[in-house]
Amino acid sequence: MHDPIDTSVRQAAVVRRRRMARRQTARRMRVMVVSSAVVLVGVMMMRSNANAPKRAIAAAEMPVVGGANGNGPLPGPRAPLFSTLPANAASPWKRPGDLLKRDRAAEGPSFAIGTDLRVRERHASLNRWHRIYSYSAKYRIKPDLARRIYDAAITAGLEPELGFRLVRVESVFDTKAESPVGALGLTQLMPSTARLFEPGVTREQLLTADVNLRIGFKYLRALIREYKGDLKLALLVYNRGPVAVGRALAMGRNPANGYESIVTKGYRGNGTLD
């Protein structure tokens, strides 16, 4: 005879596995839908930009056959086709220069085609939002938070994937997270450490996403540079502090505590954009 308790346990395990499989399938479908939508918008924009000069030439060469009643030429000069924007108007797609330059080094697909500055800026913005929505779906967070993490990582010179991994391990994307020892926010910064980079920063400021991400990513980038690109050692110092790691190394012991392995599991980058 089968043990009814054991049977119910197995049935519950099967139900859990099926539920997890459905969730993973739904997640993959969301990513595919978002990616397809972004690609479709990009193709439509490229076609529109490619056909615009042809339309302009055709409109300019079209003969004037008569006025409103067909008996005479239209009064006044023909209005330019692209007169809706001033010649010196800034593109609504333009992003800050530092983010635009660093964003080109970030991972992800690129749809940029053409040499026109305005077209390149539009495609750069399209690429940026494609990556942001991909990270939003991957880590199941709101697009606004994904945007803040992505832009902060690019500005600090970190690979965005590393930035998202750090925030997930440190705070599980909770902007108001606070540890028992007083570490604050998304990147779990100690106020004393944060003030080394921005003197006078307050506890309340460290609980805001932009400030916390800016300082936390700047700190990690500085550690990677200080330890000559050794990402795992830099992560250990970020987690344990330089004193504890330095003491372990001085005594000939391995300072690893598993934190660096959790952050970098499956990660193939070197941590920085340069």
Model confidence at 232, pLDDT cuts 50, 70, 90, reads very high
| Residues near 170 by beta carbon (within 8 Å), at least 6 away in sequence | 177, 183, 186, 187, 188
Residue matched to tokens 């936390």: 216
CATH 1.10.530.10 maps onto the chain at 158-274
Which class for 213: exposed (0-12), middle (13-18), buried (19 or more C-beta within 10 A)? buried
| pLDDT tens digits along 66-85 | 444 444 444 444 433 333 33
> Do residues 171 and 186 make contact, with C-beta atoms less than 8 angstroms apart?
yes
Res 104: pLDDT:
54
Output helix, strand, coil percentages for the chain, rounded to the nearest 5.
60, 0, 35
Res 126: pLDDT:
92
Tokens for 240?
């344990």
- Distance separating alpha carbons of residues 112 and 110, to the nearest angstrom: 6
Q: What spatial distance separates the first Cα and last Cα of the chain, rounded to whole Å?
A: 65
Res 9: pLDDT:
60
Question: 158-274, what's its fold?
Answer: Lysozyme (1.10.530)
Q: Which of 121, 159, 161, 170 is catalytic?
A: 170
Average pLDDT, the chain: 78
pLDDT over 50 (residue 61): no
- Distance separating alpha carbons of residues 151 and 153, to the nearest angstrom: 5
Res 175: pLDDT:
96
- Distance separating alpha carbons of residues 71 and 89, to the nearest angstrom: 39
Length of the chain: 274
- Distance separating alpha carbons of residues 144 and 160, to the nearest angstrom: 15
Q: Give the DSSP per-residue string, 215-262.
A: HHHHHHHHHHHHTTT-HHHHHHHHHH-HHHHHHHHHTT-----SHHHH
Residue matched to tokens 């026109």: 116
Res 64: pLDDT:
39
Model confidence at 95, pLDDT cuts 50, 70, 90, reads very low
The answer, as to whether pTM is greater than 0.75, is no
Q: What is the mean pLDDT of residues 219-225?
A: 97
Does the annotation mark 260 as catalytic? no
